Structure 1
C-alpha cells in the first residue's frame, strides 16, 4: 500500500497529536481520515454547486421576488461581486 512522509514543525506536530488524541485515533489514522474527509467534502461541495446551477433558472422563475439571482457559474463575476 502506498505511504507518504509528511514534515511538520514541532509545534504543528504537537497540535496534530492533540487533535488525534481528542478523536481517540492514532496519529496515522487521524491523518489518513483527515485527507479522505477533505476529499469527500470537496466532492460534495462540487456536486452541490452543480446541482444548484442546474436548478437556478427554475428556482428564479418560481420565486422572482426572492433574493436577486446569483450569476451562473463561469459568468466572470466572483463571490465578492455578488
Structure 2
C-alpha cells in the first residue's frame, strides 16, 4: 500500500498527536482521516457552489425582496 512521509515541527507534531489522542485514534489514522475529510469537504463545497449558481435565477424569482439579489460567482473562493 502506498505511504507518505510528512514532516512536522516538534510543536506541530505535538499538536497533531494531542488531536489524535482526543479522537481516540492513532497518529497515522488521524492524519489519514483528516486528509480524506478535507478532500471530501472541498468536493462538497465545489458542488454546493455549482448548485447555487445553477439555481440562482430561480431563487431570485422566488425571493425578489432579498437584497442584494445573487450576482456573479460569489462563494467559489470558499473551496
Change (3 A) 1:54 1:28: same
TM-score by length of 2: 0.88
Are 1:9 and 2:16 matched, yes or no?
A: no
Q: Aligned ranges for residues 50-69 of structure 1 at < 5 Å?
A: 50-69=50-69
The verdict on how the C-alpha distance between 1:31 and 1:56 changes in structure 2, with shifts beyond 3 A counting, is same
Structure 1 residues without counterparts, runs of 5 or longer: none
Unaligned runs of 5+ in 2: none
> 4+ residue stretches of structure 1 with deviation over 6 A?
none
**Partners of 2:37 and 2:67 in 1: CA distance:** 32
Residues 47, 11 of structure 1: CA spacing in aligned structure 2 closer, same or farther, 3 A cutoff? same
RMSD over aligned CA atoms reads 1.8
